[in-house]
Amino acid sequence: MRIMNRYRDLYKASLTDPAQFWAEAAREVTWTRSPQQILDDTRPPFYRWFPDAELNSCANALDRHVDAGRGGQAALIYDSPVTESQRTITYAELLDPTSRLAGALSQLGVDKGDRVVIYMPMIPEAVIAMLACARIGAVHSVVFGGFAPHELATRIDDARPAVIVSASCGVEPTRVVQYKPMLDAAIEASAHPPRHCVIVQRDRMRCNMVDGRDHDWEGLIAPARPTPAVPVAATDPLYILYTSGTTGKPKGIVRDNGGHAVALLWSMRHIYDIGPGDVFWAASDVGWVVGHTYIVYGPLLAGATTVLYEGKPVGTPNPGAFWRVVTEHGVNVLFTAPTAVRAIRKDDDPDGAWLARYDRACLRSLFFAGERLDPDTYHWASQKLGIPVIDHWWQTQTGWAIAANPLGVEALPIKPGSPAVPMPGYAIAILHPDGSGCGPGDEGAICLSLPLPPGTFPTLWQDDARFEASYLCEHPGYYLTGDGGYLDEDGYLFVMGPHRRRHQRGRAPAVDGRHGGGAGVSAGGGRMRGDRSCRRNQRPDPPRVRRPAGRDVRRGPSVRIGQARPRRDRRRRVP
């Protein structure tokens, strides 16, 4: 059977010879030192991709497109119905303030490896701040705008930033949220306050500044000199993104530079079918992993145009808001959470009257992630839009899709209730509590065989021991996703919900990455040998992502995709 052959060959190649597969994918990245070694597997379970390579993520996202003569192409479209403003920023126009802010941060003492916390609303300056950090090798940690002072303070104390970049306020449909008082309160409560803050003064509400600490964004970058991109090791951290934990201390998910760039470029082309000049809209927030991955880095690395939307699916001003954005900006692929479309369908536009007002001929596909895609929402979107409606599943920890329908490879048959098939590098194993493998259709713990592919987290910030205890000790040799599910006879994955809650006592912790990928979601040192936290009587701290509670209702073609073989001989303690 021809269908799925291209996908199956690609997936098999990624598992049988991962070094060759990812070496080929790495050719899409512009390196300052090309990788000679693809995978360092000498210190399991701490695997590192492209360990001898160097690059700069900002240069890959901006400079190389300008250098290629595409500086006049739109890089970012800012659409803000809450402030009644729009702005299109080209690659060249985005590069200039980014390089100037990078220079200004350097003048404030930020060096390679230093942390910068970004606490901002959905404005272009948030994207610029992230890229400016990457440009000088600083590690950014974006905290969702509007988080309470205590939550912000815990992240400040863990990251210990040299600088915080923030704004005077955020704008909601019915109110203005004052960011600066919350920032001041968080800094006051922090044991490790930053030396400097950079503040964007928004017209809707300006704020008071603290003398000697706070710097006005415009006043700081206007005289600053553009700074060239600094090469960093592929294994150096690009960012820290905090999730909630069970101990009161958030877990800092680390993303490295090299594997991140390789994986996102691969995903943009092969999963979303996006290339240079296409328009991609991830209707999420930069404070969540989807915002990092598919508002900022993914589209810009691919040379596409990304949409930054400061608004809601309904109420800004009506249920046609999403379709207006799609039509006005020529969006080719929309990525959002089911909640957004469910709100449009259920409460405001059940018959699709608002949707019918807009010409959506540009829209090729709609991707969902972040929560259960209920059948009603799937069928409504599929029928009203008349395009592929794709569910896919991932986590803050993985950074990109574990399971998806790879439209850039071939469009696979859709099974409602399934995020489709494993993506390259993800060897999915469904395991019983004793570590034995489950057969097709039998539910168990969804685990991923190590090593994880590029772009996934190599460890937790400054906490290798917690990394092992939280994710790797339940089934040694595997990453524990925290979800239960099954693979059917065609190799399609069905995610049934938090596994540990269903099979063990104790409450599974909620991950502050409501996405699995989705809109509106949520550098370690040496290995700790002999870590007692890896003993079998220790309860790990798995991630939690809410997923479907129902099985598939339609069958696709009878094509079997192999499941990772359970490593029964590896059920020993991690040394």
CATH number at residue 120: 3.40.50.12780
Is-contact 266 456, C-beta < 8 A?
no
State how far the Cα of 573 lies from the Cα of 575, in Å rounded to an integer: 6
Answer yes or no: is 299 within a domain. Answer: yes
Range of the domain at 318: 53-391
pLDDT value of residue 3: 59
State how far the Cα of 382 lies from the Cα of 313, in Å rounded to an integer: 18
Dihedrals phi, psi of 133, to nearest 5 degrees? -60, -50
State how far the Cα of 27 lies from the Cα of 21, in Å rounded to an integer: 11
State how far the Cα of 129 lies from the Cα of 120, in Å rounded to an integer: 10
pLDDT value of residue 563: 52
Q: Is the peptide bond before 451 cis (omega within 30 degrees of 0)?
A: yes
State how far the Cα of 188 lies from the Cα of 182, in Å rounded to an integer: 10
State how far the Cα of 103 lies from the Cα of 460, in Å rounded to an integer: 29
Q: Evaluate if pTM is beyond 0.75.
A: yes
State how far the Cα of 149 lies from the Cα of 119, in Å rounded to an integer: 11
Answer yes or no: is 323 within a domain. Answer: yes
Provide the token pair at 461. 């910030």
pLDDT value of residue 346: 82
pLDDT value of residue 499: 83
Answer yes or no: is 237 within a domain. Answer: yes
Q: Is the dihedral of CA 93, 95, 96, 101 positive or negative?
A: positive
> C-alpha angle with apex 261: 259 to 265, nearest 5 degrees?
120
Alpha-helical runs (H) found in 229-337: 257-270, 289-290, 298-301, 321-329
Answer yes or no: is 465 within a domain. Answer: no
- DSSP 8-state symbol, 189: H
pLDDT value of residue 219: 97
Is-contact 216 208, C-beta < 8 A?
no
Answer yes or no: is 329 within a domain. Answer: yes
How many CB atoms neighbour CB 471 within 10 A? 26
pLDDT value of residue 348: 74
Going by their DSSP bridges, the two strands 169-171 and 176-178 should be labelled as antiparallel
pLDDT value of residue 552: 33
Tens of each residue's pLDDT in the chain, 575 residues: 345 899 999 999 999 999 999 999 999 999 999 999 999 999 999 999 999 999 999 999 999 999 999 999 999 999 999 999 999 999 999 999 999 999 999 999 999 999 999 999 999 999 999 999 999 999 999 999 979 999 999 999 999 999 999 999 999 999 999 999 999 999 999 999 999 999 999 999 999 999 999 999 999 999 999 999 999 999 999 999 999 765 578 999 999 999 999 999 999 999 999 999 999 999 999 999 999 999 999 999 999 999 999 999 999 999 999 999 999 999 999 999 999 999 999 877 899 999 999 999 999 999 999 988 999 999 999 999 999 999 999 999 999 999 999 999 999 999 999 999 999 999 999 999 999 999 999 999 999 999 999 999 999 999 999 999 999 999 999 999 999 999 999 999 999 989 863 334 333 333 333 233 333 332 223 222 233 334 333 333 333 333 333 333 222 333 334 455 454 333 332 23
Answer yes or no: is 509 within a domain. Answer: no
State how far the Cα of 113 lies from the Cα of 137, in Å rounded to an integer: 6
For residue 429, give every residue at least 6 positions away whose Cβ sits within 8 Å of its Cβ, in sequence order, or none.
437, 447, 448, 449, 478, 563, 564, 565, 566
State how far the Cα of 560 lies from the Cα of 12, in Å rounded to an integer: 12
Answer yes or no: is 351 within a domain. Answer: yes
Number of domains in the chain: 1
Strand partners of residue 404: 421
Is-contact 564 429, C-beta < 8 A?
yes
Answer yes or no: is 16 within a domain. Answer: no
